[in-house]
Amino acid sequence: MADVDTLIEGPVLTLVINRPDKKNSLTSAMYQTLSDGLQTLQERDDLRVGVLRGSGPDFCAGNDLFDFAAPGDPEAPVTSFLRGLAEAAKPLVAAVNGRAVGVGATMLLHCDVVHLSTDAELRFPFVDLGLVPEAGSTLLLPQLAGRRRAASALLLGRPVPAADALWWGMATDVNDDPDAAASASAAALAAKPPQALAATKRLLWGDRTSLLQQMSVEGSVFAKLLAGDEFAAATERFRSRRS
């Protein structure tokens, strides 16, 4: 079974993170498949909407700590994936069950429609890992939620339950079946005039230069800290808990 499934049904391309035994934590190979999927979405005129899902009880536990690449490396698959999210011209919809941790949470900030399960929880544990947030989240999260709420999530590392994520502007809705809701949203978007849809998304997001610049700065700091003592200590603590 593939760790990421790419499904095409009519005008909708769905990327399913399919590594439930590891809580859908992401490896470099998985990032490459996700990046390739986003590129396919953008290149094919017959595809109108992209959907992100996770297999099993959790959406995504973030990076696999033992298969880690810095998002500051321009050749790394994670960098291609994050840039693909930030530059996406077509709508992105997410269906989130359970926990979304680290990049599992930050990738949602790039989606246009986000459906959360009632038990969903977003976590940004970067500081506790000796790292900094990525994917432009230090820019996007304050824009959505406000600087102090963003500080609660990014500095204190407090979990953001579904109801708070909705209140903070990080989600479209909270419901019992986010997968069905995502399918309905994708179908509704795919049925709309594609040029008007793309133009409206472009106007909503505006000039993304500052976002891409922030992602580059985050990536440089991330790469430096990834080689530091604090991340090494955090990884050792994680390894000890597993043994």
Residue 241 pLDDT: 79
Q: Decide if 196 is inside a domain.
A: no
What is the mean pLDDT of the segment spanning 84-104? 98
The amino acid at 63: N
How would you write 188-239 as a 3-class SS string?
HHHCCCHHHHHHHHHHHHCCCHHHHHHHHHHHHHHHHHHCCHHHHHHHHHHH
Expressed as residue numbers, the domain containing 53 is 4-177
Q: Decide if 114 is inside a domain.
A: yes
What is the mean pLDDT of the segment spanning 95-116? 98
Q: Decide if 122 is inside a domain.
A: yes
Instruction: Note the pLDDT tens digit of each residue in 36-74.
Output: 999 999 999 999 999 999 999 999 999 998 776 556 566
Q: Decide if 159 is inside a domain.
A: yes
Q: Decide if 185 is inside a domain.
A: no
Q: Decide if 224 is inside a domain.
A: no
Instruction: Note the pLDDT tens digit of each residue in 130-144.
Output: 999 999 999 999 999
Residue 124's domain is classified under what CATH number?
Answer: 3.90.226.10
The amino acid at 21: D
Task: Round the average pLDDT of the chain to a whole number and report it.
Answer: 95
Instruction: Note the pLDDT tens digit of each residue in 166-200.
Output: 999 999 999 999 999 999 999 999 999 999 999 99
Count of structural domains, the chain: 1
Q: Decide if 233 is inside a domain.
A: no
What is the mean pLDDT of the segment spanning 191-219? 97
Q: How far apart are CA 125 and CA 157, in angstroms?
A: 5
